Structure 1
Amino acid sequence: MIRLASTAVMARRHEPADSLDFFPTPPWATRAFCEHVLPRVFPDPHLFHNPAWDPACGEGHMALALADYFAQVHASDIFPYGFGQVADFLHQDFRWKPAEWIITNPPFAIGRDFILKALQLAYRGVAMLVRTAFCEGQGRYDDLFSIYPPAMIAQYAERVPMHRARWVVNGKTATAYCWVVWLKEFGKPIVDDTRFVWIPPSRNTLTRPDDWLRFGGCMDIPDKHKARQLAAEGGVMRPAPTRQEIQAGFL
């Protein structure tokens, strides 16, 4: 009984009231979404030619991974992490960027507000990476899911480790995550039955040896990790963008 109680506590990601809730998304988790979820929920061959927008970009872990699939990615965050535009997504005067898709890992406490705002702005669809527990609760059911049922809930078959303010390559977690996806047509969310699918194990297949060099905030690199060999050799599989290139390409 004690062990079960301890695990339940670990699964809850409590944050201070003034926290920015910055938990970088491992690059492989975003790639798994692009590889296994988007083609199933919206099988349009022109999908990735349309712009996407990450309005809670942090240091760019998700936005840079999305840029491997989308021709253009806008990125913004309320805090100046040094990546993308500094802007409050929920502010009524925010000048938003046109985007077919709004895709992000929103702050948990205001996830519902992020979703409702995104459903107003996105042309084609909204995809939110949330704790699986986000799908529970009468309040969110009454205010969100019963009014705008998602087109798909995609549950990771393996855990996606996220750590406060840092990306840990071989991190562990007791928290389960899923993607909740809405589709829009003629400017309005499509109301239909929700599909539930699983995202197959992807960490080993979609992690790239050069991720450590491309993405900031990485911690706890194992001594035998391929990234250390690449760094020692002074080479990368894909050049990391400069700060100037980031600012020019992700606004």
Structure 2
Amino acid sequence: MQNTSHAVMAQRYEAADSPDDFPTPPWATRALIEHVVGVEGVKAMSCLEPACGRGYMSRPLAEYFSSVDSADAYHYGFGPIRDFLTSPCRRSSYDWVITNPPFRLAEEFVHQALDVARVGVAILARTVFLESIGRYETIFRHKPPSVFAQFSERVPMVKGRVDQKASTATGYAWFVWSKAEDRTGPRLAWIPPCRKLLERPRDYL
């Protein structure tokens, strides 16, 4: 019997006005810092999470950064309501912008985040974000990421909640733009299996 849970389907289709509410399991955010960005490099830095939802990404970011500000275009009871695209933050007002944006708005989030961040931007997206002529022309051709970090294990995302027992057929990766890194071309990296090491019991409360 086919498993048809929201987390399993490789493709998902959301209405144009949907909040695209698929929270990030906290361990996947810790994996970005532990295996891609580096723990020591962010200790004294500030971070903005502009699509924070219920805070499942903001809370693990706060374990590493000196300060984390959070907001979302929709009300979830965690951060203040602020649309990152229509009410942008000041230019170079944060060291990092790290988020899992609505997939249909990810290009706009990247452009806005690169203006807001002083040091770097990290976007969690489906691996297929690499594809499309449109994204090549608007982002990757002139502003390619410094690092494309592919998860070697699956990152299950379920609509409206985090679920420790969920599974998925969808691949995810971190797209990282480092403003200090050599711009000779993107670096391909793999995030090793790390879920068991980076999960915490409180993550699913």
Work out whether the TM-score is over 0.5.
Answer: yes
1:29 corresponds in structure 2 to 28
Asked if residue 53 in structure 1 is aligned to residue 52 in structure 2, the reply is no
Identity of aligned residues (%): 47
Return the letter of the residue paired with 1:29. Answer: A
Shift of 1:190: 6.2
Separation in 1, partners of 2:41, 2:134: 37
| Aligned 8 A contact 2:162 2:204 in 1 | no
Separation in 1, partners of 2:111, 2:127: 18
1:103 corresponds in structure 2 to 98
1:112 corresponds in structure 2 to 107
Residues 129-208 of structure 1: matches in 2 within 5 Å? 129-185=124-180, 191-208=183-200
Separation in 1, partners of 2:88, 2:142: 25
Runs of 4+ off more than 3 Å: 93-97
Using the size of structure 2 for normalisation, the TM-score is 0.91
Shift of 1:10: 2.6
Separation in 1, partners of 2:155, 2:28: 7
Separation in 2, partners of 1:48, 1:107: 27
Asked if residue 76 in structure 1 is aligned to residue 84 in structure 2, the reply is no
Return the letter of the residue paired with 2:110. Answer: I
1:212 corresponds in structure 2 to 204
Using the size of structure 1 for normalisation, the TM-score is 0.75
Return the letter of the residue paired with 1:148. Answer: K
Shift of 1:183: 1.4
Larger RCO of the pair (alpha carbons < 8 Å, separation 6+): 2
Structure 2 unmatched ranges of 5 or more: 3-7
Return the letter of the residue paired with 1:104. Answer: T
Separation in 2, partners of 1:110, 1:94: 14
Structure 2 residue matching 1:10: 3-state secondary structure: coil
Shift of 1:182: 0.5
Asked if residue 38 in structure 1 is aligned to residue 37 in structure 2, the reply is yes
2:5 corresponds in structure 1 to none
Shift of 1:46: 4.6
Separation in 2, partners of 1:95, 1:200: 34
Return the letter of the residue paired with 1:206. Answer: L
| Aligned 8 A contact 1:182 1:190 in 2 | no
CA RMSD in angstroms, aligned pairs only: 1.9
Task: Write the deviation string for residues 54-91 of structure 1: whole angstroms up to 9, x where unpaired.
Answer: 00000000000101111110101001111112101001
Return the letter of the residue paired with 2:55. Answer: G
Structure 1 unmatched ranges of 5 or more: 4-8, 214-251
| Number of matched pairs | 198
| Aligned 8 A contact 1:149 1:192 in 2 | no
Shift of 1:135: 0.5
Structure 1 residue matching 2:69: 3-state secondary structure: strand
